[in-house]
Chain A
Amino acid sequence: MSLLRTRKGRRLAVVLLGLLGLGSATGLALMAFNDTLVFFVTPGDMAESPPPAGRTLRLGGLVENGSVLRDRRDGKPVAKFRVTDGRAAVDVEFAGILPDLFREGQGVVSLGTLRPDGSFLASEVLAKHDETYMPKEVAEALKKSGQWKPETGQAPPAGTWNTLAPRKGGD
């Protein structure tokens, strides 16, 4: 091989071989730890393989529309809502202050334990937002034109509303 004839070539080969080995080792390790690298499980995952009772875990999904009940208990706000991933849904109860972004259709991640009755008692609720950014007027126009159905939560694909021409003033 001509690559190995010079010192530089040999050094390059050693570096590339080392990177290849390191890369495959890392890839295999990450694949082996796949289950523990996820930040949360979805209701669908939980239905497939129920976690042991009393184990603390994070549950992630969208807040189901029309499922939020806000209440007060001993002067503390208590919220009950259902978290869904489209495959399954879990009732969640949380005592405390919800993040500002919390609302129906929004992604949330709750830390807590699964109770024997199948509901989830959360000790912490975090809001998850998507990678879509747009001005309020554009969001309202999309909802008004029916392109974006608020029930589905997700914004329509960017290609359908984003253009590379600057927006005209006042539309």
Chain B
Amino acid sequence: MSTSPAISPASGRSLHRFANPGRFLRLSARVLPFLAVPALLLTLGGLAWGLFVAPADYQQGDAMRIIYIHVPAAWLASGGYLGLAICALLSLVWRHPLADLAAVEIGPVGAAFTALCLATGSLWGKPMWGAWWVWDARLTSVLVLFFLYLGHIALVRAFDEPERGYRAGAILALVGVVNLPIIKFSVDWWNTLHQPSTLTVTGAPSMHVDMLWPLLTCILGFSLGFAAVVTARLRAAVMERRIRGLLLAQAQGI
């Protein structure tokens, strides 16, 4: 390891410290329990808190409790895609070898959370709005996000040469980034059936604290869970690649 200060834009070099698969496996083995255990506790605790302890809403009653799944899932649908895009950037610009594998592993997890977001939103929409689905800007842009995930999942696996799949997938992931601000601001830019954001950076949350804390707990729990699942999948992918290398070496009789 050189200790000389890295020069921009070669500062990516410092990132390559984590590119060593052995180092990643050792580091992630230590980190994984600290992600998985709090994730499980916070998610279960937050859901129990939200579903059984928190008060019902003044106008929506108990139906509003689906927010404790819907909002964390929606947050990770977008946040996961941002992670995918960052991996794509690391892959395209700095050729970071783990970023390619990470992008492949984030895809299905993000798609699952997006599907959960769409499904819970639909279950919420029917009793409150009166419709399972409407083509308003928010719902449509999240559906587009789901298709971007599916497209990425298919594209990175579509080539015999994995490198080409990674490259194509990274470009798709970066192109899809334009959808993220559209999702975020769709409820402000256009008339939508979906309500605007409850949690904002600048203003007070328009949600009573008794509901806010369980929601924030669920968001944190889901996020740690997302990180834990992606880390575990990435570990499996690194080990799989190692084993394949070993088998190949064995078959060639080296």
Q: Taking beta carbons and an 8 Å cutoff, which residues of A are in contact with B?
A: 3, 6, 8-9, 11-12, 15, 18-19, 22-23, 26, 30, 34, 37-42, 60, 98-101, 109, 124-140, 155, 157-159, 162-167
State whether the Cβ of B150 lies closer than 8 Å to any Cβ in chain A: no
Q: Mark B203-227, 1 if CB is under 8 A from A, else 0.
A: 1111111111100000000000000
Contact between chains at B206 and A136 (CB < 8 Å): no
Min Cβ gap B58→A in Å is: 4
B residues contacting A by CB (< 8 A) are 9-10, 12, 55-60, 64, 67, 89, 92-94, 127-131, 134-137, 174-175, 177-178, 182, 189-193, 195-198, 203-213
Contact B130 A127 (CB under 8 A): yes
Q: A133-B57, A133-B211, A162-B208 are in contact. List 9 more A-B contacts (CB 8 A).
A: A15-B89, A23-B178, A40-B191, A99-B130, A127-B130, A129-B195, A136-B57, A138-B208, A166-B209
In Å, the complex CA distance between A162 and B209 comes to 7
Does the CB pair B205–A42 fall under 8 Å?
Answer: no
**In this complex, what residue of B is CB-closest to A24?**
B178
- CB <8 Å contact, A155 and B93: no
B129 and A165 within 8 A (CB): no
12 pairs, A vs B, C-beta closer than 8 Å:
A39-B136, A99-B128, A99-B130, A128-B195, A129-B60, A129-B129, A131-B197, A131-B206, A134-B58, A134-B211, A136-B56, A136-B58
Give A77 Cβ to nearest chain B Cβ, in Å. 14
Residue in B93, B190, B210 whose CB lies within 8 Å of A167: B210
Chain B residues in 8 Å Cβ range of A126: 129-131, 134, 193
The chain B residue with its CB closest to the CB of A22 is B178
Expressed in whole angstroms, the Cα–Cα distance for A133 and B147 within the complex equals 31
Instruction: Report the nearest A residue to B192, measured CB to CB.
Output: A39
Tell me whether B10 and A6 are in contact (CB under 8 A).
yes
A139 surroundings in chain B (CB, below 8 A): 58-59
Question: A131 near B93 (CB under 8 angstroms)?
Answer: no
Cα-based distance from A129 to B213 in the complex (angstroms):
22
A9 to B94, CA, bound (A): 9
| Contact between chains at B129 and A135 (CB < 8 Å) | no
C-alpha spacing A100/B59, complex, angstroms: 10
- For A133, the chain B residues whose CB sits under 8 A away are 57, 60, 64, 67, 198, 206-208, 211
In the complex, which residue of chain B has the Cβ closest to the Cβ of A128? B193
- Is the beta-carbon distance between A15 and B193 smaller than 8 angstroms? no
Tell whether, in the assembled complex, residue B178 and residue A129 are in contact, meaning their CB atoms are under 8 Å apart. Answer: no
In the bound assembly, the distance between CA atoms of A136 and B60 in angstroms comes to 10
User: Are A127 and B128 neighbours in the complex by a CB distance under 8 Å?
Assistant: yes
- Known contacts: A134-B207, A134-B208, A158-B203. The answer to whether A101 contacts B190 by CB under 8 A is no
Alpha-carbon gap, A136 to B61, bound state (A): 9
**Chain A residues positioned under 8 Å from B56 (CB to CB):** 135-136
